[in-house]
Structure 1
Amino acid sequence: MPKTKKRVQSSDSDSDSGPDDKLPVKKSKPEAAKPSKKSDGDDELSWDLGKNRFVKLTEFKGKWYVNIREFYMDAGGDLKPGKKGIMLTMEQWQKFKGIIGDIEDAVKRNI
């Protein structure tokens, strides 16, 4: 009996592939993201970035992390964390904060 090969489907929404749309970004003042708490009583702070992407301050095994992640809606209508994202240690977060100005300058030069 011949073996069947599974086909891997590519996703159009890979976070590493760049922006979802090809149109230029409209320049407007961004609204300040407001922290919110989960409704299930958890003390996790969360900031909505839009398009089901969130920044969350998360405690895991006694250590704190900044978790920037894409979420998805499961069959039951609940928002669940997806595979696409990054969880930064506090040391990585501090380094990231230190280069924000350089990133901003590079963005301004290239837009």
Structure 2
Amino acid sequence: MSRRFKRKEEDESPSEDGHGAPPKKAPRTDSSGDSDEIVVCDISHNRRVKVRNWQGKVWVDIREFYVKDGKQLPGKKGISLSVDQWKMLRDHAEEIDKALAES
């Protein structure tokens, strides 16, 4: 396999885990609504929680951001949870709190 072909394959994949952000070079001017997002909260100066619609599915995206040329851009570090995964995490919040209190 040539380097050129391999690079093209990597650029077209949605993310390493199959759940993440759109490809880095995806156009941001798409008017189809595939990149709708709502910033829910900033959990630190460089971490943000968003709810977004991507490729017809809703995701809870918890991600680190970095600044480049005065713009905040999403980094590779983060996780996108499906609605079912988010509900599972939310349903176990009390258990997580209890484990935190015990540690």
Identity %: 40
Residues 81-100 of structure 1, C-alpha deviations (whole Å, 9 max, x = no match): 00000000001001000111
**2:42: which partner in 1?**
48
Residues 63-90 of structure 1, C-alpha deviations (whole Å, 9 max, x = no match): 100000000001x110000000000000
Length, aligned pairs only: 68
Structure 2 segments unaligned to the other structure (5+ residues): 1-34
Higher strand share: 2
Structure 1 segments unaligned to the other structure (5+ residues): 1-41
Q: Give the aligned CA root-mean-square deviation in angstroms.
A: 1.3
TM-score, normalised to structure 2, is: 0.63
Spell out structure 1 runs of 4+ moving beyond 3 A: none
**1:92: which partner in 2?**
85
Q: Return the structure number with greater relative CO, CA threshold 8 A, min gap 6.
A: 2
Work out the CA distance in 1 between the residues paired with 2:37 and 2:78. 17
Residues 34-80 of structure 1, C-alpha deviations (whole Å, 9 max, x = no match): xxxxxxxx852211111310000011001100000000001x11000
| Match among 55, 62, 65 for residue 59 of structure 2 | 65
Higher helix share: 2
Question: Which is greater in Rg?
Answer: 1
Work out the CA distance in 2 between the residues paired with 1:54 and 1:104. 21
